[in-house]
Amino acid sequence: MRIYSASQVYRVHVELTTRCNAACPMCPRTRAGGEQNPNLPLTELTLADFQAMFPPAQLQRLKQFLFCGNYGDALVARDTVPICEYLRRENPKLRIKLVTNGSGRDAAFWAALAKLVTTVTFSIDGLYEVNQIYRRRTSWDRIMSSVQAFLAAGGRAEWDYLVFRHNEHQVTEAAALAAQLGFAKFNLKRSQRFLVEGQAVERFPVLKVGGGVAYYLELPSQPDYQNSGFVSLSSLHKRGQSYRDYLHATRISCKAVRDEQVYLSGSGHLFPCCWLGQIYDSWPSVMAAEIRARIAELPDGLAALDLRQHSLAEIIDGPFFQQLVVRGWNPSEPQGRLSACGRMCGEIDTHSRQWESGSGPPSP
């Protein structure tokens, strides 16, 4: 199995910053919504970084930038609008997408974005104060001001709604509000994050900053709102396979290759995808430790993936992508396997099934 070469990459997923105004409990930027992840460097990419990393000639051949990321929110980054202006100016045909909690910045920011980006996806998981149960520290009024400023300026918006027990009763009302406000799409999203190291957790504890449980998140009660891949993964034992065995044996179909996409982290490091970019674990994690161990095999360590020091082609065509990641897919070499690849791109595809309706029969 092969990974792409640099000339086959057309899309870039970027984390503009590792900072965020919110504290969503299942996001690794905090420890379950409480204290900040102690391993996370707080850092961001500037316009000057972008101009150096993606010179105009490079932008001519790229097709898409997606501003999303693992640990932060583009609305907090200082240079979000200047960076989008630069991209738009240098390649008017680029698709530019941005995913955000929407709770911040002024109307001028959202109106400027509306003129520059193809789509903004607002992550809003409930109506009024219900949204704050997952989107901790956000404000419904600020989100609605952002949405209205963006739509009034002619922007195209989608609404992503993560469904939980506490917000499943509002799905119909939220979909109606999305249509009334002028969202182009309303996407119900079935989280796969109730699976922690292979164990299905029915109740996910949300922690207070000082420690102690504040409350619990629960799976939605309607089976149609549950992730069918999650259901299959959490019942592997019924067919006599452990979660670890599955991760090491499953056939990998790399989504980065399928999507012709790379991931640039807020610290300026290049990975094939956001899942391999998740190296700053909030709690000790086997997946993150394996990726860090692969990086440690490089003579220069993490610096070898730094897009401030190397070109896109040097990194993609170098040993991390071409050897260490590909080795992570080989079922006959268990020591080199990457659990993150088995988890995200194995035969049970919990990621894609987030958007699929119906729990359906368990996967093979």
- Please tell me whether residue 193 binds ligand SAM under the rule CB under 6 A: yes
For Cα atoms 4, 269, 30, give the angle at the middle one, nearest 5 degrees: 120
- Please tell me whether residue 219 binds ligand SF4 under the rule CB under 6 A: no
Sequence-ordered list of residues with C-beta below 8 angstroms from that of 189, at least 6 positions apart, any chain: 160, 161, 162, 163, 354, 355
- Please tell me whether residue 229 binds ligand SAM under the rule CB under 6 A: no
- Please tell me whether residue 356 binds ligand SAM under the rule CB under 6 A: no
Q: Do 271 and 265 meet the contact criterion of CB atoms below 8 Å apart?
A: yes
Distance in angstroms (rounded) separating the CA atoms of residues 290 and 272: 15
Site string for ligand SF4, 255-284 (x = CB under 6 A): xx---------------xx-xx--------
Distance in angstroms (rounded) separating the CA atoms of residues 216 and 26: 11
**Cα–Cα distance list, 264 to 8, 69, 237, 275 (Å):** 16, 8, 36, 11
Q: Candidates 112, 113, 130, 254: give the one binding ligand SF4 (CB under 6 A).
A: 254
* Partner whose footprint covers residue 276, from ligand SF4, ligand SAM, none (CB < 5 to 8 Å by kind): ligand SF4
Minimum distance, C-beta of residue 69 to ligand SAM, in the bound complex (Å):
5
- Please tell me whether residue 22 binds ligand SF4 under the rule CB under 6 A: yes
Write out the two tokens for 33. 């919504």
Q: Which residues of 70-92 are buried (b: 16+ CB within 10 A; e: fewer)?
A: bbbbbbbbebbbebbebbbebbe
Q: Which is nearer to ligand SF4, 83 or 256 (CB)?
A: 256
Q: Do 235 and 198 meet the contact criterion of CB atoms below 8 Å apart?
A: no
- Report, in this order, helix, strand and coil percent for the chain, each rounded to 5: 40, 15, 45
Minimum distance, C-beta of residue 209 to ligand SAM, in the bound complex (Å):
19
- Please tell me whether residue 32 binds ligand SAM under the rule CB under 6 A: no
Q: Candidates 73, 168, 281, 290: give the one binding ligand SAM (CB under 6 A).
A: 73
* Partner whose footprint covers residue 255, from ligand SF4, ligand SAM, none (CB < 5 to 8 Å by kind): ligand SF4
* Residues of this chain that bind ligand SAM (CB under 6 A): 20, 24, 26-27, 68-70, 73, 99-101, 123, 160, 162, 191, 193
Q: Which residues bind ligand SF4 (CB under 6 A)?
A: 20, 22-24, 27, 29, 71-73, 101, 252, 254-256, 272-273, 275-276, 325, 340-341, 344-345
